[in-house]
């Protein structure tokens, strides 16, 4: 029962924080969304900040937990790119509001970046990516490119249509079902585009 209640609170907190941010959200909002009283919410999580920190951490942990196994997998490099794109697209599709939520909170609360030490979190991933790029370049399979640049290229191509969802749908005259189909096609399109851009 305790596990179910805690997960219910986490889900409610994700929704409320995504919609209102840390500043706008209240513990009562989260309790109402979870369908519990405020006293029970405080029993599990003593402060809004602690609950926010948990939700914020989960967003980054899920990303790194998704991409790191692919980077270290013993498969051809271009296949890694295909799997990275697909995995990240699936992750964003499962919680499409997360990217904008994270970006907004980092802009409004710059101390979050320092507290979470994002550099330390991302360093192993980027270092391994750079090693792979050097090996592929040395073998004559790709052009020379920095790991940070390739990562930015991939993540930008993935995130923009989700962050600017309303704009994309209106600009292209798309209903929700059409937008979702385009996102599915985009998995292969982004991987193809990136691979073609770096192929030697």
pTM for the whole structure: 0.80
In order along its 200 residues, the chain shows pLDDT tens digits of 455 888 888 888 888 888 887 788 888 999 999 888 888 888 888 888 888 888 877 877 777 778 888 999 999 999 999 999 999 999 888 877 777 777 777 777 777 666 666 677 778 888 999 999 999 999 999 999 999 999 999 999 999 998 888 999 999 999 999 999 999 999 999 999 999 999 99
How far apart CA 192 and CA 198 sit, in angstroms, is: 10
Q: Residue 19: which of 116, 110, 109, 95 has the closest Cα?
A: 95
Please report how many Cα atoms fall inside a 13 Å half-sphere around the Cα of residue 115, on the Cβ side: 10
CATH architecture of 1-46: Orthogonal Bundle (1.10)
CATH class label, 56-198: mainly alpha
- Position 2 scores a pLDDT of 56
Domain boundaries, the chain: 1-46, 56-198
- Judged on CB neighbours under 10 Å (0-12, 13-18, 19+), 63 is buried
User: Following DSSP, what letter does each residue of 100-164 receive, concatenated?
Assistant: HHHHHHHHH-THHHHHHTHHHHHHHHHHHHHHHHHHHHHTTSB----HHHHHHHHHHHHHHHHHT
- Position 1 scores a pLDDT of 47
How far apart CA 29 and CA 163 sit, in angstroms, is: 24
- Position 194 scores a pLDDT of 96
- Judged on CB neighbours under 10 Å (0-12, 13-18, 19+), 62 is middle
DSSP letter, residue 97:
T
- Position 113 scores a pLDDT of 65
Residue 71 contacts residue 150 (beta carbons within 8 Å): no
């Amino acid at each position: 029962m305790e596990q179910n209640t805690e997960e219910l609170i986490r889900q409610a907190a994700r929704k409320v924080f995504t919609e209102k941010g840390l500043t706008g959200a209240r513990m009562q909002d989260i309790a109402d969304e979870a369908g519990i009283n405020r006293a029970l919410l405080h029993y599990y999580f003593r402060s809004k900040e602690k609950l926010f920190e948990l939700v914020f951490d989960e967003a980054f942990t899920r990303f790194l937990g998704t991409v790191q196994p692919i980077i270290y997998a013993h498969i051809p490099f271009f296949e890694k790119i295909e799997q990275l794109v697909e995995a990240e697209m699936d992750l964003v599709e499962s919680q499409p509001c997360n990217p904008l939520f994270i970006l907004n909170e980092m802009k409004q609360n710059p101390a979050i970046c320092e507290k979470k030490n994002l550099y330390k979190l991302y360093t192993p991933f980027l270092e391994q990516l750079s090693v792979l790029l050097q090996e592929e370049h040395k073998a004559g399979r790709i052009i020379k490119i920095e790991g940070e640049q390739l990562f930015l290229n991939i993540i930008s191509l993935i995130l923009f249509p989700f962050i600017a969802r309303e704009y994309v749908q209106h600009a292209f005259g798309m209903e929700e079902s059409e937008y979702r189909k385009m996102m599915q096609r985009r998995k292969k399109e982004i991987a193809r585009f990136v691979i073609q851009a770096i192929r030697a």
